Structures are given as C-alpha cells and as structure tokens.
Structure 1
Amino acid sequence: MVVGGAFVAILTVLGVIPRLIQISRTVRLVNVYGGTIILGTLFGTYLSFTQITWEQPVLILLIWGAIHGIFNGMLAAALVEILNVFPLLSKRLGLEKYMVILLFAIVLGKISGSMFQWLVLMR
C-alpha cells in the first residue's frame, strides 16, 4: 500500500497525468483517463493478492508488453519533461535538433524492456 500510495503521490504532485493529457491532446477523454486509472489500479491490486496465473499465447503477450511499454515510455517522457531534464540536457550538449529521436529511443527502450520481461522473464 505504501508503494501504491507513493506512486499516486508522484503522479499527483508532479502533475504527470494532466501533462500527459495535454501532450497527447486528449482533453476530451479526461473521464476515460480517470476510469482507466481506477480500474487498472483495482485490477492490479486484485492480481497482486491472488494466485492467478495468466498463461497466454506469445502474440497476446507481445500486445500486452507493447501496451505496458508504451505507457511506461509515455509516463517516463512526461515525467522527464516536467522536470525539464531534456531541455536543459539538450541545450548544454547541443542536441536540440535530435530531441524527437531521443524521446523515441526512450519509448522504444521501454517497450523492448516490457516485452523482454513478459516474454522471457515471466515464463
């Protein structure tokens, strides 16, 4: 519960979810965001406290891993943008024109890591 509370506190205090909504230009889906966060939290809590295993074909696990990777990548990118790490780093290193490539590299890295976890480590 402490870890979950800390995660929600980080999302709330840093304003990651509102910034993510702003970046993705999906303000009209605010209610959907709220509902999915609540349902995801409840579902994750349920799976954490039960002995349910989820044996699925590799294709389903690839899709599931991609969804996790996309979410984690967007969350990391939004968090880093809020903290202004990329703008400061890119200006000091002279990488301003490579900012989009840098963000895509982070997102693809998170997707790859999630797929590796689901396909290799979870078996």
Structure 2
Amino acid sequence: MTIIKAIAVIFTGLSGGVAVGIGFVAFLTVLGVIPRLTQLTKTGDYIRYYEWAVVISVVLSSFADLNNSSFPIGAGILIPIGFASGIFIGMLAAALTEVLNVLPILSKRIGMEGLLISLLMALVIGKLAGSLFQWLVFVNF
C-alpha cells in the first residue's frame, strides 16, 4: 500500500468516525434523549450514571472494534447481554419517537398521511435489505 493510499484510508476512517460521533452526540444532547429516558423510568437521580455508561461503553466498544477483539463467552452470558442491549436500543428509539414524533411528521411532510403503514414497512424492508446486504456481501468480502 502506498503512502498516499494509507493516508487516504486514515483520513476516510477518521472522517467517518468523527461524523458518526458527532451524530451520536447530537442525537443524545440536542434531543435530550438521556434526560427523557430518566424521566420515563423515574431514575432522574442516576442521570450521571447513564451519561458515563454511554461514554464508557462507546469508548470501550470502539477500542474493541478497532482492535478486532473477541471475547470467548458462552451463550449463558451472551443471551442476557443481547437482551440488555436490545432493551437499551428499544428505549432509545422509544425516547426518540416520544421526543420527535418522527413518523407522523415525516408522513405529513412527504404527503403520505394516509399511508403511514406503507411508510413504516418501507423503512423496515429497507433496513432489512441493508442489513442482509452488509452481512451476506461485506462479511464474505
């Protein structure tokens, strides 16, 4: 690999990481997802723990991902971790939906008020197709 290609790869990787990081921070800060999450769960006294949990988990998971780390854990531990991760992602999505009321606003703006279910199905099918494409094409690439 030439030096120019290496610099381009480094620049692209850092740019992508910064863009995703900024989006994540904007999502959590501007929309007030964590404070709203603590309101919904009535755990406002623990807001600092939520914030530090997000920061630490992002840093550790980014570090593990960049180092191609793997952890030899059994299904007995993997199932509760997956369950907790699913709950966390679901709660964040619910908080975002609560804060923004995303789909009804989107359907009104694009003129699909009566077709909200169709819009939702298009999003689901698009997400499914993108995930399958990633796992079936890029994992074996």
Q: How does 1:95-106 map to 2 (within 5 A)?
A: none
1:7 to 11, 15, 24: 24
Q: What residue in structure 2 maps to residue 44 of structure 1?
A: 61
- The residue type equivalent to 1:11 in the other structure is L
Q: What residue in structure 2 maps to residue 114 of structure 1?
A: none
Q: What residue in structure 2 maps to residue 66 of structure 1?
A: 83
- The residue type equivalent to 1:35 in the other structure is W
Q: What residue in structure 2 maps to residue 57 of structure 1?
A: 74
Structure 2 stretches of 5 or more lacking a match?
Answer: 1-16, 106-112, 115-141
Aligned length in residues: 91
Superposed displacement of residue 67, structure 1 = 0.8
TM-score, normalized by length of structure 1? 0.65
Between the two structures, name the one with larger relative contact order (CA 8 Å, sep ≥ 6). 1
- Greater Rg over alpha carbons, structure: 2
- The residue type equivalent to 1:76 in the other structure is A
CA distance in 2, matches of 1:24, 1:86: 23
Q: What residue in structure 2 maps to residue 113 of structure 1?
A: none
CA distance in 1, matches of 2:104, 2:44: 25
CA distance in 2, matches of 1:29, 1:85: 27
1:8-38 Cα offsets, whole Å, 9 max, x none, are 1111111111111111111111221122122
- Runs of 4+ residues over 4 Å off in structure 1: 85-88
* Aligned-residue CA RMSD (Å): 2.2
Partner SS, residue 73 of structure 2:
coil
CA distance in 1, matches of 2:90, 2:97: 10
Structure 1 stretches of 5 or more lacking a match?
Answer: 94-123
Q: What residue in structure 2 maps to residue 20 of structure 1?
A: 37
Q: How does 1:106-121 map to 2 (within 5 A)?
A: none
Q: Alignment identity in percent?
A: 40
